[in-house]
Amino acid sequence: MSAILLSTDLMTGSHVSGAAARQNIVLHTAIGLRELLEQQQALSVGLVLFDLSVTGVDPHEMVKQLRALSNAPLRIVAFGPHVHAGRLTAARAAGCDEVLSRGEFYGHMDEILAGTIPGEIP
């Protein structure tokens, strides 16, 4: 399986890369919406990880465009700082499959990548 991480944070990329390797997932990274959409169109991955700290990306537009490009089931997991409640709420409203605080995401990263945690973590 392949996944795309949309993030500009090198530490996040490193953590997710390690977890992806443990799950035998090929991880691609993007630093902006255009690059994410280009990769999704070329690769048609089943999992997109969206770091809500990335500025200039409208969650509604991103989800809409990703779903239009995907010819297979696509799971979109958004995560961000718990203090950015507005961004977390916007990601939920946009239709992301899972929306987690950064702490929840890091704490359950292996399970999230393996797809063993359905829905949001309580």
Residue pLDDT, tens place only, 21-41? 999 999 999 999 999 999 999
Query: Does 122 reside within a domain?
Result: no
Q: pLDDT at position 117, please? A: 60
Q: Which domain holds residue 17?
A: 2-114
Query: Does 119 reside within a domain?
Result: no
The CATH number for 75's domain is 3.40.50.2300
Separation between Cα atoms, residue 112 and residue 104, nearest integer Å: 10
Q: pLDDT at position 86, please? A: 86
Query: Does 121 reside within a domain?
Result: no
Query: Does 15 reside within a domain?
Result: yes
4 phi and psi angles, rounded to 5 deg: -120, 130
In the predicted structure, residue 64 carries a pLDDT above the cut 90: yes
HSE-CB for 107 with a 13 A CA cutoff: 9
pLDDT category of residue 122 using cuts at 50, 70 and 90: very low
Q: What is the mean pLDDT of residues 98-120?
A: 84
- Domain total in the chain: 1
